[in-house]
Amino acid sequence: MQDPQTEARVRAAVARATGAEVSAAPVRRLAGHASLRSYWRVGTFPASHVVMVLPPDAKPEEVTKGGAPAANPFVDVQRYLAGLEVRVPAIHAFHEPEGLMVLEDLGDDMLETRLLAGDPKGPLYERAIDQLARLRAAAEARPGGSVAFTRSFDAELYRWELDHFVEWGLEAWKGARLSPEEKDVVDREFDRIAAALAAEPKGFTHRDYQSRNLMVLPSGEQAVIDFQDALLGPRQYDLVALLRDSYVELEPAFVDAMLRRYLEQLARAGGPRLDVAAFRQTFDLLTVQRKLKDAGRFVFIDRVKKNPGFLVSIPASLRYVRDAFARRPDLEELRRILARHVPELS
């Protein structure tokens, strides 16, 4: 059941932003996934607008590093990406005191839904990869001008996310506890992973560049959304989000092809030419880190936010970790300990 008070607020926001008469326009709440924000469509697509409703004292959706931004992060990063010629939703108005932002309506077609509708995955992922390579190369050539450059993944943040898995994936979900001896090894290996990832070259990172955050427009162009938590991270991070997506599983040969395509497109767009094998090693290490964190996060969202909808994505996340462990024999001791308590990693 929708909230009549919120319906009236979002209608009024659209009327103020556009000057249009929308008192009789239909209002529908859109799926917001795990976000604290809510989204409302006012009107009938394509003659419609989306209103983002921010909760009071809205904080970053993800744990991050850096001080509080001077400007709203969504507005800030949207301007930065638009300046790089990345397709993002236009902001028609931001009524900040009221927590209402009127946005261009990009429709309902996500990369995920187009795949479910039967579209060939090759062209969809090629567009997504090419756009990501261009974005990264352009951002590396313009390193500044956004709140994203004031916060970054460091060893402490990587380590916090790994501990998040222990707390929620291993302890809360599996009801397991590491022995003191096991904990010593896990702590050592988690520190090693965090330090290795923190040492990688950093640049603008969307943080969640995946199938539910890429809107497929009627032209075939892909628009990027949900970018407000952007920060500095390694080149492989957004690739892990896209190619190790917990909502869409891809076969290994396809992932390999997309990684090679990314490296080719990055160099073509003016970025560095990187060694494939070394790049893949870091990609696999980041897969272990990110997908362990995701598995724990999905349990957290269920237990704390009372949203069980992401539990179904835990098995895919752990399959990715298991496969990445197989490509990183230096992590075998860590895998063996975690697999004692989380059989999905066996």
Residue 21 dihedral angles phi and psi, to the nearest 5°: -90, 110
Q: Which pLDDT belongs to residue 60? A: 57
Q: Which pLDDT belongs to residue 293? A: 98
- The whole-chain average pLDDT of the chain stands at 94
Domain ranges of the chain: 4-104, 111-345
Q: Give yes or no for residue 70 having a pLDDT over 80.
A: no
More confident residue, 86 or 62: 86
Q: Which pLDDT belongs to residue 55? A: 84
Residue 203 dihedral angles phi and psi, to the nearest 5°: -160, 180
For the domain made up of 4-104, give the CATH fold. Phosphorylase Kinase; domain 1 (3.30.200)
* H or E, element range at 53: strand 47-53
Q: Does domain 111-345 have CATH number 3.90.1200.10?
A: yes
Q: Which pLDDT belongs to residue 3? A: 81
Q: Give yes or no for residue 267 having a pLDDT over 70.
A: yes
Q: Which pLDDT belongs to residue 15? A: 96
Mean pLDDT, residues 312-340 taken together: 98
What does the pLDDT look like over 40-67, one tens digit per residue? 999 999 999 999 999 876 555 565 655 5
Mean pLDDT, residues 150-175 taken together: 97
Question: pLDDT band for position 68 (50/70/90)?
Answer: low
Q: Give yes or no for residue 1 having a pLDDT over 60.
A: no
Q: Which pLDDT belongs to residue 47? A: 93
Task: Please state, for a pLDDT cut of 90, what percent of the chain lies above it.
Answer: 91
Q: Which pLDDT belongs to residue 45? A: 94
